[in-house]
């Protein structure tokens, strides 16, 4: 029999935490957040339009940065006028007012840090790219972002918001490309600092009914420095059973909850436990009472955590 898996996407690890009344939002817009990893395969169709490929003059573009715990986060937004933009275009450089490239390393985040947006290989009339600029920067201000459009074409996008602070930090400044998506989708990458974190999912030992309750995840920090979950991470939960006769039709997932008003901090060599929202599922598809069910939790940048429970 084929394996059944139900995937659910959650907006933030801290969805069940209570924020102080005077707290300011960490992520006022989804595009400053990190998409969840893909725990199930899925596909997205190409646009149902015969619009032509965009010329540079057809594209309206803007970019903005926002201060974060580890430097600044950036978003580049491109919108074509009745034309299609290839979504494989990378951020190529940051430019000063004279349109000279700043001496910054430009890298692509590791695949496990980028989360997942199902838009690769196609084309769209509107796209956003995320990036992060870390390290001390004491040089000329960045005024433009240069974006490659393929075929040797480049687009120079005005940039507002500034760069990282000039400090005594000796780390080399770098720009790391994040993910990409449609307007309003999360497009940031998980910071490299999150590599010090590990996740352990907790579930009830038995499930009575068709809702998983009492879900929580403990994040443990193996480094001496505190780790901030900034930008805000989306999470994914997958429920699987080997007793199912078929994979269900329809969408493989939905979004759980919303992002918190304050960031979560995991202390150095410490841990933080976060309550997660209940998860409903179609019980009849997962087998009779006594069936073992595997529940998997994942956020970008961390290895997934899988545990078993039993249908009662």
Q: Which residue has the higher pLDDT, 12 or 227?
A: 227
| Domain end call among 181, 216, 251 | 181
Residue whose tokens read 């429920």: 239
Q: How far apart are CA 30 and CA 45, in angstroms?
A: 23
Give kind and range of the element (H or E) at residue 206.
strand 206-207
Share of the chain above pLDDT 70, in %: 79
Domain presence at residue 119: yes
49 token code pair? 């339009």
Which pLDDT does position 97 carry in this prediction? 97
Domain count, the chain: 2
pLDDT at position 3 over 60: no
Q: How far apart are CA 259 and CA 15, in angstroms?
A: 6
Q: How far apart are CA 174 and CA 92, in angstroms?
A: 12
**Does 241 lie in the same domain as 164?**
no
pLDDT at position 2 over 90: no
**CATH number of residue 268's parent domain:** 2.60.40
Of 151, 107, 153, 155, nearest in space to 132 by CA: 107
- Cis, bond preceding 231 (omega within 30 deg of 0): yes
Confidence class of residue 96 from pLDDT cuts 50, 70 and 90? very high
Which pLDDT does position 6 carry in this prediction? 56
Radius of gyration of the chain (CA): 21
**DSSP type of residue 120:** T
Range from 67-76, 148-157, 288-297 that averages highest in pLDDT: 67-76
């Amino acid at each position: 029999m084929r394996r059944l898996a139900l995937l659910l996407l959650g907006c933030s690890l801290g969805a069940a935490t209570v924020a102080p009344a005077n707290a300011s939002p960490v992520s006022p817009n989804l595009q400053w957040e990190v998409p969840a990893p893909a725990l199930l395969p899925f596909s997205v169709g190409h646009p149902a339009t015969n619009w032509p490929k965009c010329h540079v003059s057809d594209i309206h573009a803007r970019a903005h940065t926002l201060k974060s715990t580890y430097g600044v986060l950036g978003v580049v937004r491109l919108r074509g006028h009745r034309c299609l933009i290839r979504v494989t275009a990378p951020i190529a450089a940051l430019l000063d007012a004279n349109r000279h490239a700043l001496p910054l390393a430009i890298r692509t985040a590791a695949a496990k840090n980028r989360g997942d947006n199902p838009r690769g290989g196609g084309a769209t009339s509107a796209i956003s790219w995320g990036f992060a600029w870390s390290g001390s920067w004491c040089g000329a201000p960045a005024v433009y972002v240069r974006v490659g459009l393929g075929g040797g074409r480049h687009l120079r996008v005005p940039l507002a918001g500034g760069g990282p602070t000039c400090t005594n930090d000796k780390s080399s400044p770098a720009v790391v490309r994040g993910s990409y998506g449609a307007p309003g989708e999360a497009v940031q990458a998980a910071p490299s600092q999150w590599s010090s974190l590990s996740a352990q999912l907790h579930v009830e030992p038995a499930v009575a009914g068709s809702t998983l309750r009492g879900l929580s995840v403990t994040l443990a920090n193996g480094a001496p420095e505190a780790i901030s979950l900034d930008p805000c991470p989306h999470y994914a939960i997958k429920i699987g059973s080997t007793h199912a006769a078929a994979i269900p039709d329809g969408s493989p997932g939905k979004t759980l909850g919303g992002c918190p008003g304050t960031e979560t901090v995991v202390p150095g060599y410490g841990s933080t436990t976060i309550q997660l929202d209940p998860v409903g599922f179609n019980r009849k598809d997962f087998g009779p009472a006594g069936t073992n069910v595997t529940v998997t939790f994942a956020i970008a940048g961390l290895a997934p955590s899988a545990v078993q429970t039993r249908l009662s």
